[in-house]
Amino acid sequence: MASTTFTSLLCFCMVLEIFLSLVSGGSSASISSLQNDFVQCLNLNSDLPIPMSTFYTQKNSSFDSVLQSSAQNLRYLVTSVPKPALIFTPQTEAHVQSAVICSKQLGIHLRVRSGGHDYEGLSYVSMTETLFIMMDLANLRSVTVDIGDNSAWIQAGATIGE
Domains of the chain: 33-154 (3.30.43.10)
CA distances from 101 to 42, 44, 54, 94 (A): 8, 11, 17, 11
- The predicted model gives 83-90 an average pLDDT of 91
pLDDT bucket at 71, cuts 50 / 70 / 90? confident
How far apart CA 16 and CA 74 sit, in angstroms, is 35
How far apart CA 113 and CA 122 sit, in angstroms, is 9
Does the structure show a pLDDT above 60 at 24?
no
CA 137 to chain centre: 12
Taking the whole predicted model, whether its pTM rises above 0.95 is answered as no
- The predicted model gives 40-68 an average pLDDT of 90
Q: With DSSP H G I counted as helix, E B as strand and the rest as coil, what are the percentages for the chain, rounded to 5?
A: 45, 15, 40
At residue 84, the pLDDT reads 87
CA 121 to chain centre: 13
Lowest mean pLDDT among 8-12, 84-88, 111-115, 141-145: 8-12
